[in-house]
């Protein structure tokens, strides 16, 4: 569905007609408890990689999250040779549309990132799809960068399933990150650059609004953009 959106960006009228009557909006946020187990305090910038459907919305959520130094849309789960949007969109590469989050653990913990991920960034009970998008590239997945991250993620999923905070079991897969490949430049900062684009307005802006509502202490109004990070490096 998003591939047709991208192809229609140059034709405003056609895009408007295609999305004039969308069938559904982003999943409602779910109020969930904080993780009982969290990563130990640490120094230095840490990395988290998560996948939860279209990376536009997930990136947008974490760009509005305090303590996040950078959030980059990209691909994880497959090889470098297939890490491009057109190929990943086939659903046969092993890649998931993912977001690499660089964060300061003194300002936000890994567990808090997972709480936001499970609560407002996506619906972890949808298998190989998210809202209007379907395919393995839209799966729910956590790519861990350490044994500690894996323990925290596994324990949190067990905690949430045990508390039955969702009507269905969580299908999120947890596995070690082998590599992360940044997506093409036109995918970066997409939510901020195209807030009125129908897909974004209908599916992703509500996620940022839910972040502000449910995680007010972690919300920042000005997004931390990839373009700004590049400009300062």
Residues noted as catalytic = 54
Helices (H), the chain: 2-7, 12-18, 55-63, 85-88, 110-116, 147-163, 190-193, 198-199, 205-214, 226-232
Q: Smallest Cα–Cα separation from 72: which of 88, 54, 56?
A: 56
User: Which residue in 96, 83, 166 sits closest to 126, CA to CA?
Assistant: 166
Q: If you count DSSP H runs as helices and E runs as strands, how many of each does the chain have, helices first?
A: 10, 8
Q: How far apart are CA 58 and CA 136, in angstroms?
A: 16
What span, in angstroms and rounded, lies between the C-alpha atoms of 150 and 159? 14
Closest alpha carbon to 141 in 101, 175, 183: 175
Which residue reads 């700004």 in tokens? 228
């Amino acid at each position: 569905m998003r591939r047709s959106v991208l192809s229609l960006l140059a034709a405003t009228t056609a895009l408007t007609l295609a999305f004039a009557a969308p069938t559904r909006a982003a999943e409602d946020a779910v109020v969930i408890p904080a993780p009982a187990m969290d990563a130990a305090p640490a120094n230095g910038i840490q990395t988290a990689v998560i996948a939860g459907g279209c990376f536009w919305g997930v990136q947008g959520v974490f760009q509005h999250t305090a303590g996040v130094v950078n959030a980059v849309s990209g691909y994880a789960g497959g090889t470098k040779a297939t890490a491009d949007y057109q190929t990943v969109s086939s659903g046969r590469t092993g890649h998931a549309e993912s977001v690499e989050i660089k964060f300061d653990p003194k300002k936000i913990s890994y567990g808090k990132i997972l709480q936001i991920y499970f609560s407002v960034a996506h619906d972890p009970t949808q298998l190989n799809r998210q809202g209007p998008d379907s395919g393995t590239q839209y799966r729910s997945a956590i790519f861990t960068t350490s044994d500690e991250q894996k323990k925290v993620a596994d324990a949190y999923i067990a905690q949430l399933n045990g508390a039955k905070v969702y009507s269905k079991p969580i299908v999120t897969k947890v596995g070690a990150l082998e590599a992360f490949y940044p997506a093409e430049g036109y995918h970066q900062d997409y939510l901020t650059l195209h807030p009125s684009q129908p897909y974004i307005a209908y599916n992703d802006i509500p996620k940022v609004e839910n972040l502000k509502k449910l995680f007010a202490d972690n919300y920042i109004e000005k997004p931390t953009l990839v373009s700004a990070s590049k400009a300062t490096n």
